[in-house]
Amino acid sequence: MACGDMTKVLLAVAGVGVALALMGIGAGVALYHLYPHEVVRYTSLARNYIRSWTAPAGTVTTELNPAYHAPATAAPRLAAAAPELVAAAAPAGEAERKDWPSYNRTLTSGRYSPLDEINPATVGKLKIVCTYDTRQYSNFESGLIMVQGALIGTTEYDIFSLDPATCAQNWRTHEAIPPSFYATNRGAAYLDGRLFRGFEDGWVRAYDFKTGKRIWQTQIAEPSLGESAPAAPIAWDGLVFIGNASGDAKGGKGRVYALDAKTGKIVWEFYLVPRVEGDRVRGPQGLSPLDKSTWANAAGIPISGGGSWTSLTLDPETGELLVPVGNPSPAFARALRGGANLFTGSIVVLDARTGAYKRHFEIVPKDWHDWDVSSPPILIRTAGGKDLIADAPKDGRLYGFDRESDTLLYRTPVTRIENVETPFAPGKQVRFCPGVAGGDEWSSPAYDPRTNLIVAGEIEWCTTVTLQTDEELRAARPGQTWFGNEAHNPFHLFGRQDQVDSGWAGWVYAVDADSGVWKWRLKSNYPIEGGVTPTAGGVVMFGDLGGNFYVLDAETGGKLWGRKIGGPIAGGVITYWAGGGQKIAVATGLANVTMPTAVTTGKIVVLGLDRAASTVETQR
C-alpha cells in the first residue's frame, strides 16, 4: 500500500472510530467479531498515527558506576581476546571481514565489528548517505546482512537486494502469502550463493543470491495452530537452522529444524516441548530426553508454547547449536500447567549435525510473565580467560554462564524489575516490570573485546494483568491467542501496558564480562529493541523506538553523535565497508499493534562519513 494511501486509511479509520463511539459500543463489537485482526491492526495504527503528532524528541543520559573497579588485567585486543572463538566466529578473508554476513555478524553472535573508520575523532562527520523505502507498513524488524557486495533485507512479504553504498535496488522478490496479525520477519541467512528466510505462513524459502529467484520451499509450521516462521535463520556446513514461533496460541508447539541448504529437505526436527500422540512429525527426530513428566497440565489445557521465534547461535569449533526457547502457554496461567515446563524459558544446546540433545540452561523457570528467552545467546572468551555463554532474555537480567562447568556466574539486572513474585488471579490486577515486551526482545546483547564489556539494549515498560478464569482458558479454540489476560479491550490481549508519556523508557547497560558488574549505563526516553553494535573504532551504535540513532563512546557511554533518522528502530543496526568507506545500515519503521510508535513505512537508512556524496532516496 502506498504511503499516501495508508495515510488516508489511517485518517479514515480514526474517523470511523469517532463514528463508532457515537453509534455505541455495540457497533464496534460487531465489527471486531467480523474482522478481528483487521480492526485491531488498523485501529492501533490509526491511534499510533495520531499519537505520533506530539511525540517528544529523543533524550539520553549516561551514568558511570562508582562501584565498578576495572580488573587488574587489561582487556585484550581482539586478536588475543579469544583465539579459538574469534577464529571460528570471524568471517575469513579481508573482504568478508568487512561484511556483515549473518544475523549477528558471526555465528557466535557477538555483534562486534573490526571496522574503525567511524570513531570518536571522525563521528562528527556522520551523515545519511541514502535511504531505501520498502513502501510497506509492517513490523519492520529485519536483521540486515551485507555479504558479497549486496545489502539484504526482508519484510513480511518480500526479500530484496540493494547496493550497500547507494541503496539502489538490485532485485526484489514478493511472495503472495496471507496477511498475518504480527506482520513481521527478522531477516535472512546466506550460504554458498543462496539466501534463506522464513515466512508468517510457516514456510521457509530459498532464493538465488544474484537474481532473487526462488529455489525451494519447505513448511515447518502450522498457521492454523498459531505457528509461523518469522526468525532469521543461520546457515553453516550445508545446513540451514531455524525454529518456529508458537508461544502465543493454544496448541502451538515450538520446534527447531536443520534443512539441507541445497534442497530444503528436513535433516532433523527437535521438539522444544514434549511431543505427544497426534503431533505431526515432519522429519527425523533429534535424540531428546524430553517427556511429559515436567508438564502436569490440567484437563483441557494442552501442552503449548516453547517457540523459537528469534535467531540462533552456533559454535563452529564444537558443532553445538544454541537455541533460545520462548514461553509456555497459556502464558499467565501457571497453575494450569504444573511442573517445570521444559524446555521453555531455556537455552537448549544441540548437536548441529544430528539434532541430538546435549544439555540445557534453564533461565526463566516456569515462566508466568511471558518472559521468553527471546534473543540468541553470545559465545565469548573474556579478558579473564573464561569461556562464557551470555544472554539477556525478557526478564530484565543479563546472565553469564561458564561453559566449562555449566554454572551460572552472574544474573545482573539491566532494566527496572518490580513486583515479579506476586501471583496472578482472576479479579485481581497485578502490575509487574519488566512487562510482556521485556527486557530484551529479539536482539542479542553484544560483546566488545576491546573493553571486555557486554552491551545490552533494554526496554523499560510495565504490564498489568488480570487472569482469566480456568473455564475461559479451556474454552479457547485451538490456534486462538492464549495469554490468559481478562481482556474486554482487544488491545489488551497481552495485558494492559503503562501509558507511554510516563511509563516507558530504554536502557543500554555495559557490563563487565568477567564480574557481571555494570560499568556504565545510558537511559533513553524511548525503549531500545534494535541491535546494539560495538566496533574496533571504540564506539557503540544503537537506535530507539523514537527513531533516534546514537553513537556512544565505548569506554564511558558518553554520546558522541545522535539524531532522529526516521521511524522506530527495531531491527538491524549493522556496519560494513562499501563504496570506499565504512557504512552503517539501520532498519527503521516499526508499525506494531502493541507498540505505540510513529507510523511509517519500513525503510533502510544508510549512514557514512561525509565525502561530498549527495544524499539519495530509493524506493520501490
- The residues spanned by each domain of the chain are 3-619
Cell reading at 81: 581476546
Tell me what the mean pLDDT of segment 26-38 comes to. 60
Confidence tier at 182 by pLDDT (50, 70, 90): confident
Is this structure's pTM higher than 0.85?
A: yes
CA distance 619 to 591: 18
Instruction: Please give the average per-residue pLDDT across 607-612, as a whole number.
Output: 88
CB 540 within 8 A of CB 455: yes
Give residue 582's pLDDT.
98
* DSSP 8-state symbol, 53: G
- Taking residues 588-599, what's their average pLDDT? 86
Residue 135 neighbours by CB distance under 10 Å: 16
CA 42 to chain centroid, in Å, comes to 23
Does position 119 have pLDDT exceeding 50, yes or no?
A: yes
pLDDT at 77: 45
Is the separation of the CB atoms in 243 and 323 below 8 Å?
Answer: yes
Which pLDDT belongs to residue 438? Answer: 85
The pLDDT, as a whole number, for residue 3 is 55
The CATH class of 3-619 is: mainly beta
Write the pLDDT tens digit of every residue in 455-478.
999 999 999 999 999 999 999 999
SS3 content of the chain, % helix, strand, coil (to 5): 15, 40, 50
Q: What's the whole-number mean pLDDT along residues 195-218?
A: 98
Q: Kindly tell me the burial class for residue 288, based on how many C-beta atoms sit within 10 Å of its own C-beta (0-12, 13-18, 19 or more).
A: middle
For the record, the C-alpha cell of 563 comes out as: 539524531
Residue pLDDT, tens place only, 55-97: 899 999 999 999 999 877 544 444 334 433 443 444 456 777 8
What average pLDDT is seen over the chain?
Answer: 90
Beta pairing partners, 538: none
Q: And the C-alpha cell for 463?
A: 504490564
Looking at residue 353, its amino acid is R
402 contacts 414 by C-beta, under 8 angstroms? no
- How far is the C-alpha of 184 from the C-alpha of 10, rounded, in Å? 20
Catalogue the long-range contacts made by 201-207 (C-beta closer than 8 Å, 24 or more residues apart): 201/177, 201/228, 202/227, 202/228, 202/229, 202/244, 203/177, 203/229, 204/229, 204/233, 204/240, 204/242, 204/257, 204/259, 204/264, 205/175, 206/240, 206/261, 206/264, 207/159, 207/173
- Residue 446's nearest CA partner among 610, 597, 572 is 572
Task: Decide if 428 contacts 466 (C-beta within 8 A).
Answer: yes
Q: What is the pLDDT of residue 79?
A: 39
* CA dist 164 → 83, 104, 126, 151, 606 (Å): 30, 17, 16, 5, 8
Q: Which of 23-32, 313-322, 416-425, 473-482 has the lowest mean pLDDT?
A: 23-32
b/e for 43-64, b at 16 or more Cβ within 10 A?
Answer: bbbbbbbeebeebeebebebee
Q: What mean pLDDT comes out for the span 335-363? A: 97
pLDDT score at 370: 96
Dist. CA 73–CA 330, nearest whole Å? 48
Q: Pairing relation of β-strands 548-553 and 378-381?
A: unpaired
